[in-house]
Amino acid sequence: MALQPVPAPQRSSRSGDRNLEVLESSPHTRFRQKLEETNDLGEALRSVLADLFVLKIVTWVAAEGDTEPQPGHRLRTEIDLIDGDVENEVGVEFLEGREYASLRPFHEQQVLNGRDTISSNVHTLLQLAREAAQFLKENRNKP
């Protein structure tokens, strides 16, 4: 079996569909843009915080032209960093003895690598907090 990489489509997770994993820009960039657009700190924070607290890892086998995983062709792990909930989905094609079972260790390694993502999210939160403090300081006396 030869696997060919297929580029993932670029989409935004802000559409309301929780399964859209690819973000068009970083949370930090979206925060700054929203803050500049609205001049509303609360709205800017709300626009990015949800993405920072849920780690989503998806491994799926795609045919050329696929933009969504076909039933049974996806491994998905979602970790809620606040509640500690972990949700796993194992497509039937990844079960022992099935065509893509050899990809399970790859997905498991990606979940372990998620620690780096968590660390990055904490760093982003600290940056957002600094920017929020600066925004409040600069706008303290504005009507």
Residue-range definition of the domain harbouring residue 93: 23-62+70-138
Span 21-69, pLDDT tens digits: 343 567 778 888 888 899 888 888 877 877 777 888 999 988 889 898 8
Any domain includes 1: no
User: For position 123, what pLDDT does the model report?
Assistant: 84
Predicted pLDDT at 55:
86
Is residue 18 in a domain? no
Would you state the pLDDT for residue 90? 95
Distance CA 127, CA 60 (A): 33
Residue 35 lies in a domain: yes
Q: What pLDDT score was predicted for residue 143?
A: 65
Question: How many separate domains does the chain show?
Answer: 1
**Average confidence score pLDDT of the chain:** 78
State the number of CA atoms in the 13 A half-sphere of 134 facing the CB.
8
Examine residue 28 and state whether it is found in any structural domain, yes or no.
yes
pLDDT band for position 110 (50/70/90)?
A: very high
- Would you say 45 and 31 are in contact if contact means Cβ atoms under 8 Å apart? yes
Give domain status of residue 100, yes or no: yes
Contact present, 116 and 57 (Cβ < 8 Å) = no
pLDDT for position 26: 76
Question: 55 and 79 in contact (C-beta within 8 Å)?
Answer: yes
**Structural domain contains residue 8:** no
Residue 7: the pLDDT is 38
Residue 77 in domain: yes
